[in-house]
Structure 1
Amino acid sequence: MTSQPWTAPVAPGAVDATVRLPGSKSMTNRALILAALADGPSTLAAPLRSRDTELMAGALRALGAGVAEDGAGWRVVPGELRGPASVDVGLAGTVMRFLPPVAALAAGDVAIDGDPYARRRPMGPIIAALRALGTGVDDEGRGALPFTVRGRGAVEGGVVTIDASGSSQLISGLLLAAPRFAKGVEVRHEGPPVPSAPHLEMTVRMLREAGAAVETGHDVWRVAPGPVAGRTWDIEPDLSNAAQFLAAALVTGGRVTVPGWPPDTTQPGDALRGLLARMGADVEASGGALTVRGTGAFRGLDADLHEVGELTPVLAALCALADGPSRLTGIAHLRGHETDRLAALVTELNGLGGDVRELPDGLEIRPRPLHGGTFRTYDDHRMVMAGAVLGLAVDGVQVENPATVGKTLPDFTTMWAAMLAAPAARRG
């Protein structure tokens, strides 16, 4: 879906807002998978309703699970998994990596495809892993979408070695379905370090909460065969989607509070507390909420973002507005995300007058006065959010295709406008 360019609004003053975030995409899609494989019905309370999660729900329905509205949540009733079926994964990494091992459990063929750029995202390791575990996959030698999983109604399971340096989702996808494999699974990683470790911790924690037996070691994960319990999943707010709102506090010298911030979480977005504090923000967690205050002046950032790469676009935008240089490293894997995020950020920030250089594993950013212009987003929701942060301080930033935020935060532009309207309302 495309939309007309959006003029990112300049902040009228210091923001003073409370922003309530919808549920975590990562938790919602993991809960949907576990619920579809459970031994009884499950309820998802306060899930994210977005393109990525609707694609997951639709994929599971196509395989035979019941996913129905339940007030503001979803009720999932497991069903016999079967083909033939066709699944659209869009551009959702969680769907394209989590769904194939589930499809291997179906009786019949499952054809999997997605958006054009999805065909360039790393899928070879999951295809090879399924073959090693005894499942046929017809990809015509591409190692990428589209492909067909030749489901036999069961997966033997066992030990498999993969290179998951491109995405932790490659491991999570195997682990989430593993309780239903006859022998469970032992996944061994060989290669450069796996990125986004908090997401793997989330997978392990949620599996255990559903009753699965999971053991972890250095670059090895074991899930024993056994039942997955139907249960109620309380989905946390999506902390990564807090990044741009909290960044607004620094850029405008204001205050933003996010209620419902969990005191103990595996979400990568929780790292925002420390990262923004290093840039000069006053960060306070109190009463189940996180509040960030800024002065309008903030430092650059030298940080390894290997475990929290999804925060990079917004942090890079913030760094482009900072008082000093920044160096963001450990994020070479972002070249295989919704777009090549490193190349996209260099091109678009420099297109507005910035000074950004691509490193082998990251970005070097030197602040310069920026000017308005088109900020292309490459069908990447995080790029829209980065453009919004720039627009707070730079007049005339035209953000291309803002509708792409529907991937994880469909109401983003409305929420953004409400945040910016808050100080004006108080002044009135």
Structure 2
Amino acid sequence: MQPMWSAPGVSGPLDATVRVPGSKSITNRAYVLAALADGPTVVAEPLDSRDTRLMLGALSALGAAHETVEGGVALRPLAREGTDPVSVALGNAGTVARFTPALAALGRAPVRFDGDEAIRRRPIAPLLRALTELGADIDDDGRGAPPFTVRGHGGLPGGKVELDSSASSQFLSALLLAAPSFDAGLTLRLVGDAPPSEPHIAMTMDLLRRFGAGVERDGREFHVRPAALSCPAYTVEPDLSTAAPFVAAAAVAGGTVRIAGWPENSTQPGDWLRELVTDLGQRAELDGSGLSVTGTGRFPGARLDLHEVGELTPVVAAMLCFADGPSVISGVAHLRGHETDRLAALVTELSGLGGQVEETADGLAITPAPLHGGVFHTYDDHRLVMAAAVLALRVPGVQVENPETVGKTFPGFVDAWTAMLGR
């Protein structure tokens, strides 16, 4: 039987300061680049969560040793000479499954990749196909999914390749991150529909430059030159997507929530939340200490294209259940291939608590309706735990299944949420 969390409701306007942990997306990108660097790197203020530990475990299996130091993690570059077979545990971590196969191809050992049943259902075939065209030796028995084995031959020729990254921008990021270590670098042309989450692509390019890589973009074409990477110290920003439920809480419950350390400039998708709450009539003020969001508890319905910020959909959908009118979320068909089918899960769970939520071709249609308590199933998806917490602010009796799954990005979420409410 799965554990349950009786998510707390709000008793009055909020007045709280919250500090969220480091960005998972930035942490795992920084870890990969540190493993590819010519010298050691200290990644300061990284996220310590299930997914980042899986990344460190994967890099360790591939030959990049690490140790915990004051304020962060110190990584040494990949040692690529070992030839004994190794295994990489993926869990259900998309960044690990997509970012590390190219690194295995740079070594000399056969590396088997496998993880949870959920990761076997998440798309990866376009990436494996592109890596093969760039010179990697990959055996997946034609599945285009884990388990698969990468047989390293000491490097990758690199060169030119076409990539369909429409199912996940992580395919593109995976190749860009590894490209400075390819013999000929990389010239990549996107084909098919545009990748989701343009901010994550910008994030990848920003980190590459910070580590000394030469990366250029011309529309749908990317160029990365071979380079020796170096970044002795790198500090991770707070995770702005993890801050989403706290931002939403101010709008739903009223009052003020301050998110400490919110950066003045960021490539993270979560930075869009400032624009969202402002458009919904709430107030968002950014200063040197962070972001203060002051809400009224009332806001209109909205038509939102979340293609570039899809990971925010569960929390935004929960928030819009309390809007004064109907809402439509579009541009997020790719969420069907995330930790779970997030669109189907949201329709099922929000409707199960009385909501009027329908799945569309590429999103959700939400008509506010009276909600009631009940069990909110989370499907081992951290973002669904956060969505349920937002609902419970104004809906008594919400029981959240398996709250520990939020440890994927914020192991201390339940305590931080309870503290925000003064409980």
Structures share a fold, TM > 0.5?
Answer: yes
The equivalent of 2:329 in structure 1 is 328
Distance 2:141 2:209 in 1: 37
Distance 1:157 1:166 in 2: 23
Counterpart of 2:201 in structure 1 is 200
Q: Which amino acid aligns with 2:116?
A: D
What is the number of equivalent residue pairs in this alignment? 421
Aligned to 1:419: 420
Structure 2 unaligned residues grouped into runs of 5+: none
Letter in 1 for 2:62: L
Distance 1:67 1:173 in 2: 21
Q: Where in structure 2 are the equivalents of 1:74-153 lying within 5 Å? A: 74-81=73-80, 82=82, 83-153=84-154
Distance in 2 (CA, whole Å) between partners of 1:379 and 1:346 is 16
Following the alignment from structure 2 to structure 1, what is the Cα–Cα distance between the partners of residues 96 and 202? Answer: 18
The letter for the 2-side match of 1:67 is H
Q: Which residue of 2 aligns with 1:38?
A: 37
Q: In 1, Cα distance between the equivalents of 2:257 and 2:132? A: 48
For 2:218 and 2:344, the matched residues in 1 are separated by 34
The question of whether the paired residues in 1 share the 8 Å contact of 2:264 and 2:287 is answered with no
Which residue of the partner structure matches residue 168 of structure 2? 167
| Pairwise CA distance, 1:264 | 1.2
Deviation at 1:230, TM superposition (A): 3.3
After TM superposition, the structure 1 stretch with the greater mean CA deviation from structure 2, 232-241 or 297-306, is 297-306
Divergent runs of 4+, >2 A: none
8 Å CA contact 2:210–2:231 kept in 1: the answer is no
Deviation at 1:42, TM superposition (A): 0.3
**1:86–1:110 CA contact under 8 A, matched in 2:** yes
In structure 2, the residue matched to 1:278 is: 279
Asked whether the 8 Å contact 1:255–1:291 carries over to 2, the reply is yes
Offset from partner CA, 1:219-255 (integer Å, 9 cap, x none) = 1111111101132111000000110011111111111
RMSD: 1.1
Match of 2:241 in 1: 240
Determine the structure 2 residue equivalent to 1:358: 359
Q: Which amino acid aligns with 1:237?
A: P
Pairing 1:230–2:228 present: no
Specify the alignment match of 1:49 in structure 2.
48
The answer to whether the Cα contact below 8 Å between 2:187 and 2:222 also exists between their aligned partners in 1 is: yes
Which amino acid counterpart does residue 366 of structure 1 have in structure 2?
T
Q: Secondary structure at the match of 1:393?
A: coil
Answer whether contact 1:243 1:269 (CA < 8 A) is retained: yes
User: Displacement of 1:3 after TM fit?
Assistant: 4.9
- Amino acid across the alignment from 2:72: G
SS of structure 2 residue aligned to 1:240? coil
**CA deviation string 1:160-211 (max 9, x = no partner):** 1111000000000011011111011112111111100000001001101111
CA-to-partner distance for each residue in 1:113-139, whole Å, 9 max, x for gaps? 111111000110111011101111111
Q: Distance in 2 between matches of 1:34 and 1:318?
A: 36
Counterpart-to-counterpart distance in 2, 1:3 and 1:235: 33
- Helix, strand or coil: the match of 1:361? coil
The one-letter code sitting in structure 1 at the alignment partner of 2:6 is: T
Code of the residue aligned with 1:16 in structure 2: it is D
Q: What one-letter code is carried by the residue in structure 1 that aligns with 2:199?
A: P
**Pairing 1:182–2:183 present:** yes
The one-letter code sitting in structure 2 at the alignment partner of 1:188 is: R
2:399 is equivalent to residue 398 of structure 1 = yes
**8 Å contact kept, 2:212–2:231:** no
Q: TM-score, normalised by structure 2?
A: 0.98
Match of 1:210 in 2: 211
Structure 1 stretches lacking a partner, 5+ long: none
User: 1:315 maps to what in 2?
Assistant: 316
- Per the normalisation by structure 1, the TM-score is 0.97
Q: Is the 8 A contact 1:3 1:403 kept in 2?
A: no
Check conservation: 1:263, 1:288, Cα contact below 8 A.
Answer: no
Aligned counterparts of 1:199 and 1:220: Cα–Cα separation in 2: 16
